[in-house]
Structure 1
Amino acid sequence: MKARLAADNAAAQGELDAKGLAAYQSGNASLLSAAGTSFARYSVVTVQLTATNPNHFLIGVRTFISKAKQETGFFEEQLTVSQQDQRYLIHDVQASAVQPLSHGPSVVSVEVLQTPPGQRVKVQFDADLKAETVTRATIQIKDQDGNPVEATVTFDADTHLAILAVKLRQGTYQLVVTTGVTDFTGVPLTQEYDAPLVISR
C-alpha cells in the first residue's frame, strides 16, 4: 500500500503474484490513482483467515482519494493475500466503486471473535450514533443464499461499538450494515457497508 500511495507502479506490482496482477490489469480495480488524483491514505478494516486455505488471508482496505490536496472520495478493496516463498503477496482483489466523501458515519473496523458455542462480530463506527437505528434490521449477517442469520445485536453508544452474537458454521457470509444506521443528528451512514465475513472454524 505504501508503494501505491507513492505512485510507485513497479514497487506496487512487486507486491502482486501473477493472479493478483491479472486482477488489477482486468480493469476491475486500480493499482494506482487516476490522472490528476492521488491515493491519500488507507485504513485496514478487516483481517480474516480464509476458510479454505490457511496460507490465505482476506484483508479489507479502505483507500482515500485526494485531488488538489483535498480528499474527495474513497473505495474499498477485499484483498486475498497469500504466503508464497516467505512473502505475502496479493493474490486477488475485489473493489467497490469510488464513493464521494460525505459527513455521515462509517464502519472503521470489523472483528470476529470465537466465543463458543458461537461467535461475536464487533463492528466499530467512527461517530456518535442514534442508538435506536442500530438494530437487527440495519446490521445483518447473510448466508450464501442471501438470507439473514439469527443474531442478537447490542450497541455501546460511548464506544461506538455494535456487537452481533451469532452461531455460524464454517464458511463465508456477508456482513451488511445499511444506511438505516444514522448519527445522533440523523445523518445516515456514508454508504452501505457490504463485505465478506469468513468463519474458518
Structure 2
Amino acid sequence: MSEPIKIDVWSDIACPWCFIGKRKFEGGVTEFQQDADAPEVIVEYHSFELAPDTPVDFEGSEIDFLAKHKGMPAERVGEMLEHVTGIAASVGLEYNFDILQHTNTVKAHQLLHYAKAQGIQLQAVERLLSAYFTEGRHLGRVEDLADLGAELGLDRDDVLRSLNEDEYLAAVRADQAQAQQFGINGVPFFVIDGKYGLSGAQDAGTFAQVLQQVRSERAEEISA
C-alpha cells in the first residue's frame, strides 16, 4: 500500500470561500482517486480567524459587517455576496446570507479540535459550515455549539464543559501560530504532503493535478 498523502487545511467557519474550497478540493480528491491504485488522502483542518475582534453577538447583517470591515458601500457588498452565492450554488451549496448570524468563531474552532480528539473532525467541519451558511445557526455561543455537537453524536454536557473551560484554546492558538510561520494570511489554504501550498478555492482539477504530482515524485524517489 502507498503511504497516504496528508493534506493540512487552514480554514475559518465564517469564510464563504472555505466551504466552496472544501467542495472543490473534495472533487479533486475524487478525480485523483479514480485510479484504483491512488494512495489514500488524509485531511486535517486547522484554525484560522479572519476577524478575531468580531463580537459574539454582532448586531447587524452580513452586509453591515462586511461594509464596515472592508470599507465598501453596502450596495457593492450585496453584489459581492450575490456573486459568491452563485459560485456556491455551482458546487451544490446553498448560501443564505439574509439569515446568517455573523459572530466570533474562536469557540467554533475549539469545538472542531474537540471533535478531532473524538475522531470526527471532518464531519464537524461539514456540519458547522452548513449550519452557518445554510441554516443561519449561531456559532458563537457555547450553548448553540453544544447543540451542534450533540447532533454529531458528542456528549453535549462534555462539549459545554470543554468550551467553557477553553480546553482547546491553546490548540487553536497553536494552529494560528503555525499559519503565521508558513506566511498564511488568507484562507482556505491547503498544504499538500507538507511541501506544496495552494491558496484559495482552486478548481478541482488543480487539486487533482497537485496530488498526482506528489504521487509521481514519490514514484521517482523509489525508482532512483
TM-score between both structures, scaled by the size of structure 2: 0.24
**Structure with greater strand share of residues:** 1
TM-score between both structures, scaled by the size of structure 1: 0.25
**Structure with greater helix share of residues:** 2
